[in-house]
Chains A and B, each alone.
Chain A
Amino acid sequence: MTSTLSTETTMSVPTMPEPVISLTGARKTYHTGDIEFEALRGIDCRIYPGEYVAIVGPSGSGKSTLMNILGCLDVLTSGQYVLAGEDVSTMDEVALASARNRRIGFVFQQFHLLASLTALGNVELPLVYAGVAPAERRERALRALDRVGLADKARNHPGQLSGGQQQRVAIARALVTEPAIVLADEPTGNLDSHSTADVLGMIDDLHAEGATIVLITHESDVAARAGTVYNVTDGQFVGAGTEIAK
């Protein structure tokens, strides 16, 4: 694996580490009755630790499919996906669940917090499935909440929090497992402009602290904050990743 990856990537920058995400010839075909739909038509992509990548594209372009693939929520029809050194494309459902748990922190457009649990309970949830003991779970969840500035809201239920606060709880939940990547799918789609700035600022901070971030959006001003932007159209990247000058 090292040899195939190094040919392209380590030539220009010899000290560059291994990619967190490595997609090779990624294809995804959906079958609905007799109709066949190619959502991804051969995507190659390397994302390295500490990168902040935005994936943009109109609806129906295949970016949601790409997000599902990257998040191990769905599997490729053909091609290879290596996530943090593990070949995800050959994994079964149980191994995929484990990979999601250990490697990926999700931030969803609709927050997806459980109303019956407190903020703390929601942040603890990934650790529950990781089999972490309650005491350690609580400590790590509180630390993650502190990191998003909501330590004082730990006992509140989602219904008692504003949209921006809810999304920050979701970010804390994404961070608590110390994942290889944070995968944010339209994280500001349900927020007002103030909260949007708040949440995007927080993602900037995470990036500054060294987190690897993949953000899926259709808004160009949101994408403009990323280091690299990939444009998806008709299931393919249009051109190479665009480096954004900071």
Chain B
Amino acid sequence: MRPADLLGSSWSAIRTHKMRSALTMLGIVVGIASVVLTVGLGLGTQKDVSDQIASLGSDLLIVSPGSSTDDSGMRGGFGSAETLTLADADALASEIAVPDAAAVAAEKTASVSLEYGESNWTTTATGTSVSWVDVRSRELMYGSFFTDDDVTAAADVIVLGAETAEELFGSTAVVGQDVTIDGTQYEVIGVLAEAGSSGDTSLDDLAVVPMTTMVESLDSSGASEAVQTIYIKATDADALSAASQEAQALLLNLHGIASVDDADFTIDVQDSLIDAATSVYEKLTVLLTGIAALALLVGGIGVMNIMLVSVTERTREIGLRKALGAAPANIRNQFLIEAMILGLSGGAVGVIIGVGLALALPSVLGSTIVISGLALVVSVVVAVGIGAVFGVYPAARAARLAPIDALRDQ
């Protein structure tokens, strides 16, 4: 028997029983559509989370002050110590000591009250260096960031977050305006583009000033040399761990500490945050896909069920085909191919419906859905495979029918 004729006889059997074929496919359609959708939803959520974290800079090291130990051996709370200084930041910026660092920015923060005309707004002022924009991966919506000259001169200039500008001025196009802090006027030279939020903290409600300005005018802690955080941007993501080790060695040396265990600072990697967050969603994706796969299994059992009915119903046809010279393999292959065609069509329709829903749902749910081409191809292959696996038993039964019994069947 020619392969084309085999395909033809399977196809004509499917066409002859349109309603039954459609119902058989339905289970596969639902199963594949839900697999496509859940995988897409899982990948989408994962992408959302990692995007959010990556917006902070995925090649970023965060150095925080560690707990301080006083003379009596009492340890203070985490981050409470003033063990990181401007000198540390300068040392970390050295290309010789930390060759894998591309840029370093220290942050010194203070709570300030901004005034403009009648309105005022309390926010966090951050004193830092010019490299901050690059290190924190920020962009400016209006104006420009301050320059090295501004830092040297401790100029009274300020860059506002979009939310801060909106709250204070009712607008973000406020470059050239003056804001007052404690009676001193600061010129707004730039407004940062929106960056969303990181956890509970808004990244858009802040005021950035030169470090020197912060130290001289705004900081009231009395610890003028201490900084809250030093951000180190590695040359690239691969150099992250090297940069981390270099920074650690340098700081231990500067602080005169022999053992890592006694370190008065901690270095965090942004990647570990991404890994932790995405692993949760990975598990969720696996779980959802598992449920969808169950739906697919039920669909496969549906195929087997209807194929068995079909074999019983077509007993005489099978008998006749055998009498006319069909070998058992011809009959088996006809039913097997029939089941695979049902799987293929069901899979294709399921993919179309799944992708359709994936395109429609994000506007309703507000969540991202990522459609991966690989997942679609795998889905269709799995659907055909399910047709084949669940078609084997009915096909084998059809092939085993004795022609005389089959012909006699009424």
- The secondary structure that dominates the B interface is helix
CA distance A129 to B2 in the complex (A): 8
> Number of contact residues on A: which range applies?
20 to 34
Question: CB-CB < 8 A to B270: which residues of A?
Answer: none
CA distance A68 to B330 in the complex (A): 21
| Contact in complex: A98, B327 (CB < 8 Å) | yes
- Min CB distance A16 to B, Å, is 30
B317 interface residue (CB < 8 Å to A): yes
Among B1, B317, B323, B329, point to the contact of A128 (Cβ < 8 A): B1
Question: CB-CB < 8 A to B200: which residues of A?
Answer: none
| Contact in complex: A97, B404 (CB < 8 Å) | no
Q: Which residue of A lies closest to B316 (CB)?
A: A112
Task: Decide yes or no: A97 and B327 within 8 Å by CB, A73-B403, A116-B16, A128-B9 being known contacts.
Answer: yes
Among B325, B328, B330, point to the contact of A102 (Cβ < 8 A): B325
| Contact in complex: A97, B9 (CB < 8 Å) | no
A14 interface residue (CB < 8 Å to B): no
| Contact in complex: B324, A101 (CB < 8 Å) | yes
Q: Which of B317, B321, B402 has the most CB of A within 10 A?
A: B321
Question: CB-CB < 8 A to A98: which residues of B?
Answer: 325, 327
| Contact in complex: A129, B323 (CB < 8 Å) | no
B:270-296 near A, CB below 8 Å: none
A207 interface residue (CB < 8 Å to B): no
B108 interface residue (CB < 8 Å to A): no
Question: CB-CB < 8 A to A100: which residues of B?
Answer: 322-325
| Contact in complex: B323, A93 (CB < 8 Å) | no
| Contact in complex: A116, B323 (CB < 8 Å) | no
A106 interface residue (CB < 8 Å to B): yes
- Min CB distance B9 to A, Å, is 7
A164 interface residue (CB < 8 Å to B): no
B5 interface residue (CB < 8 Å to A): yes
B326 interface residue (CB < 8 Å to A): yes
Task: Decide yes or no: A68 and B324 within 8 Å by CB, A94-B329, A116-B13, A128-B9 being known contacts.
Answer: no
- Min CB distance B318 to A, Å, is 11
CA distance A101 to B323 in the complex (A): 8
| Contact in complex: B1, A129 (CB < 8 Å) | yes
Question: CB-CB < 8 A to B320: which residues of A?
Answer: 112, 114
| Contact in complex: B407, A108 (CB < 8 Å) | yes
- Min CB distance B337 to A, Å, is 14
| Contact in complex: A106, B329 (CB < 8 Å) | no
Task: Decide yes or no: A131 and B323 within 8 Å by CB, A73-B404, A108-B407 being known contacts.
Answer: no
Question: CB-CB < 8 A to B16: which residues of A?
Answer: 116
CA distance A71 to B325 in the complex (A): 11
B12 interface residue (CB < 8 Å to A): yes
Q: Mask for A70-103, Cβ within 8 A of B = 1, else 0?
A: 0101100000000000000000011001101110
List 13 A–B pairs whose Cβ atoms lie within 8 Å, in order of A's numbering. A71-B323, A74-B404, A94-B327, A94-B329, A97-B326, A97-B328, A97-B330, A102-B325, A125-B321, A125-B324, A126-B325, A134-B5, A173-B324
Other A-B pairs beyond A73-B404, A129-B327, 16, CB < 8 Å: A71-B323, A74-B402, A93-B327, A94-B327, A94-B328, A97-B330, A100-B323, A100-B324, A101-B325, A102-B325, A112-B316, A114-B317, A128-B5, A129-B326, A131-B2, A173-B324
**Shortest beta-carbon contacts, A-B, top 5:** A101-B325, A129-B325, A116-B16, A97-B327, A126-B324
